[in-house]
Homo-oligomer: A and B are copies of this chain.
Amino acid sequence: MAPLTADRIRHGVVFRLKHPSGSDGERDFLDALRALAAIPGVEEFELAREVSPKNEFAFALTMEFADRAAYEAYNSHPDHTGFVEGRWVPEVEDFLEIDAAAL
């Protein structure tokens, strides 16, 4: 994992779905989520399993942006806002956003 330099922001979200583990619904949601990687400015897109027994989340999504402006462009991009309204809100049970920047 390349260290965060200067203005870079690593955006992270841990989440769990309403869909049962291994279901078609889960698979379809994750496929739709992966499409966000194509939004301009998104770097180092990674979808992983969350494996700590210390929390209830099932997945960990991370991506990086060159700076705050790139992050905000992503946040307001219609593909992102459309995904949030159409898929995230109805299909995600719980989530937490965690963003990191150079100390």
Cβ-based interface call for A47 (8 A): yes
Contact residues of A: prevailing secondary structure: strand
Cβ-based interface call for A69 (8 A): no
Counting contact residues on chain A (CB < 8 A from B), the size range is 20 to 34
Q: Which of A1-59 contact B (CB under 8 A)?
A: 1-4, 9-11, 14, 30, 44, 46-52, 54-55, 57, 59
Interchain CA distance A30-B50 in the complex, whole Å? 26
Cβ-based interface call for A97 (8 A): yes
A positions within 8 Å CB-CB of B: 1-4, 9-11, 14, 30, 44, 46-52, 54-55, 57, 59-60, 62, 64, 96-103
